[in-house]
Amino acid sequence: MFKIFSLSLIAFTALSFSSAQASELSINPGLWKTTTTTSNSLLDQTQTSTTEECVTETSFNPEEMTEELGECEVIRNDISGNTLTFGMACSAEGNEVTVNGEYTAEDDTGHGTMDMNMSMQGMQMEINMRWTSERIGDC
């Protein structure tokens, strides 16, 4: 199976960018609190969780994620102002996944979405994630 939930790393790495440089985002390192609301069409349920993570990176390039997810390729990686819009397509052993999302940062806060559509072994599933984040201090 794909490492699909690894794609949620986008939430934690993109949540703190402050300005765009080419296809890379500058990141405001620090301690970030992120609330994620996830809905899953297969289980017909919504779940909310809050995490805190120390972000130490100073930049992020979404294409680097696909190196860890060998079956995936970036199909969209656009930065406009303080918004990153991204898309990925993954395919392996007859399983298909498409990912589309967007994240907007405003100083020490941010919000975004990510929608995953999966076709695995004849089953269709959609997972939708919504994030709100806040930089709460230094690590």
- pLDDT level of residue 44 (50, 70, 90 thresholds): confident
The predicted pLDDT at position 112 comes to 92
| Secondary structure letter of residue 1 according to DSSP | -
CA–CA separation, 5 and 114 (whole Å): 11
Could you report the per-residue pLDDT of 90-103, keeping only the tens digit for each?
888 888 999 999 98
Count of residues in the chain = 139
**R_g over Cα of the chain:** 15
Number of domains comprising the chain = 1
Q: How far is CA 50 from the centre of its chain?
A: 15
CA–CA separation, 11 and 22 (whole Å): 20
> Do residues 34 and 49 lie in contact, with contact meaning Cβ atoms separated by under 8 Å?
no
pLDDT at 62 over 80: no
* Average pLDDT rounded to a whole number, residues 115-128: 91
Domain range for 13 is 4-137
> Do residues 88 and 7 lie in contact, with contact meaning Cβ atoms separated by under 8 Å?
yes
DSSP 13-27: HHTTEEEEETTEEEE
